[in-house]
Structure 1
Amino acid sequence: MQTTPGAAGVVLAAGMGTRVGADGNKAYLPLAGRSMVSWAVEAVARSTHVSRTVLVFRRGERDLAARTMAAELPHSVVELVEGGDTRHGSEENVLRHLAPDVESGAIDVVLIHDAARPLAGPAMMDTAVAMARACGGAIPVLAAIDVVKTDAGGRLSPAAGTLVRVQTPQAFRARPLLTAYRLAAGGSFEGTDTASCVQSFTDVAVRVFPGTSSNLKVTFAHDVLLAERLLQDEISRGGTR
């Protein structure tokens, strides 16, 4: 029996693949000999802080998710939860699934990661969970150095300020996270990511830590080729991330 709180690591794989050109769920596209989703789930499961790993599957794909995990990650215990119609709905569903253990204190942090980011390694998961435990919430970001603005004459110039691109994994203390999603339930709120709901409905401090340029989100067809190349490079170097 678990005597100390642990983190739950969640991978969201309930979306479609329209922009990437996939006929169905892009999470199951092959990358370097395995499905994209299995790379993301493995990184979460290998985190030293994660004691439970959950895969959120798209409605109607439970068997596909179960077969993929059994074939590609046979030594990992992965719980399956049906997703919703939106990202926010999928997060609501998985938090409802985890709620009893959040309320009992068995789960102290929930980490949320996208299946479409197969190159984030266990070290990034560890950083997110550790920072969430210390501060309340943690998200990886990259400086948005390629953003420009236009003036009245249509001339381009670099955008001033400290704009960033937000990545996953994102991690939060479990009880405030559950509270945020319960407060959002039944309304019209649809957050762009987990942090947006936490910031809208709680006063939890969300801290940032450095993301990586290799932690790309597979969105378009060329991203698949790039992600495969990067994964093949990792495999050739010994498979560490």
Structure 2
Amino acid sequence: MQAAVGVVLAAGMGTRVGADGNKAYLPLAGRSMVSWSVEAVARATTVTRTILVYRRGERALAAATIAAEVPHVEVELVEGGDTRHGSEENVLHHLAPDIQTGAVDVVLVHDAARPLATPAMMDTAVTTARDLGGAIPVLPASDVVAVDAQGRPSVPDGTLVRVQTPQAFRARPLLAAYLAATGGSFDGTDTASCVQNYTDVEVHVFPGASTNLKVTFAADVRLAERLLRDRISRADSR
């Protein structure tokens, strides 16, 4: 029986957001940001295993946070790398035996810093990847302009989008992409960039959500807090 694995990346820092340490553990609406992201992945009906990638030296913090805040969720812990790409490489090595036997057919990757993604987004990503190869959520980037050598702005040709997570891919080509990149200088900005550089898998897009913001700056923390509290309030009123 094939299974989809949901991975939450929480091995980064919080310098731009102003956090003294790993921003994944910033408090939001009564819980740490990472626990919201882990729960969203784990609640997806298509996800059968959930993995949290923690920063080196923070295993105890990761385990204690999950046990205290989402005790109903069973989570595997994998140590991250020095970069996002390195963290993804580590988790794929962890999953490699199950990917190679076919026990795992899809891997979904989500940023801990996107605590407002929904289980429905996870399910869309997994289902699309299982059917078509790869899936990423996007939003139109209508506020982007191009500037020429003389500093004159213009609307760029083509359609520009902002890419979000969760991103999901068939597991075997995803593993092959990261094995191909091992030892090289490639350091992708997201999972899709490695897949597109090292495989011929077609990465399909699906609608993202304006509320699925990435907590990067201090203002994002306040906005995410408000949106999460609004969500909790709506749920309590049903």
Quick check: 1:32 aligned with 2:29? yes
Which residue in 2 is equivalent to 1:178? 175
Q: 1:227 aligns with which of 224, 228, 237?
A: 224
The Cα of 1:148 is off from its aligned counterpart by 1.1
The residue matched to 2:226 in structure 1 has which SS? helix
- Give aligned-pair identity as a percent: 77
Which residue in 1 is equivalent to 2:145? 148
The residue matched to 2:235 in structure 1 has which SS? coil
**Structure 1: which 5+ residue stretches go unaligned?**
none
In the superposition, the TM-score normalised over structure 2's length comes to 0.97
The Cα of 1:153 is off from its aligned counterpart by 4.9
The separation in 1 between residues aligned to 2:235 and 2:112, in whole angstroms, is 22
Which residue in 2 is equivalent to 1:64? 61
**Structure 2: which 5+ residue stretches go unaligned?**
none
Listed one character per residue, the Cα deviations across residues 75-114 of structure 1 (whole Å, up to 9, x for unaligned) are 1100000000000000000000011111111110000000
The separation in 2 between residues aligned to 1:140 and 1:57, in whole angstroms, is 24
Q: 1:83 aligns with which of 62, 72, 80?
A: 80
Quick check: 1:211 aligned with 2:208? yes
For 1:53-202, list aligned pairs within 5 A. Answer: 53-151=50-148, 153-202=150-199
Quick check: 1:13 aligned with 2:10? yes
Indicate how the Cα distance of structure 1 residues 170 and 146 shifts in structure 2: closer, same or farther if over 3 A, else same: same
The Cα of 1:227 is off from its aligned counterpart by 0.4
The separation in 2 between residues aligned to 1:151 and 1:227, in whole angstroms, is 36
Listed one character per residue, the Cα deviations across residues 12-35 of structure 1 (whole Å, up to 9, x for unaligned) are 000000000000000000000000
Runs of 4+ aligned structure 1 residues displaced above 4 Å come to none
The Cα of 1:239 is off from its aligned counterpart by 6.6
The separation in 1 between residues aligned to 2:108 and 2:123, in whole angstroms, is 10
The Cα of 1:62 is off from its aligned counterpart by 0.1
The separation in 1 between residues aligned to 2:54 and 2:149, in whole angstroms, is 47
The Cα of 1:151 is off from its aligned counterpart by 4.4
Matched residues, number: 237
Quick check: 1:45 aligned with 2:14? no
The separation in 2 between residues aligned to 1:221 and 1:40, in whole angstroms, is 19
Q: What's the Cα RMSD here? A: 1.2
The Cα of 1:161 is off from its aligned counterpart by 1.6
The residue matched to 1:100 in structure 2 has which SS? helix
The separation in 1 between residues aligned to 2:218 and 2:7, in whole angstroms, is 25
In the superposition, the TM-score normalised over structure 1's length comes to 0.96
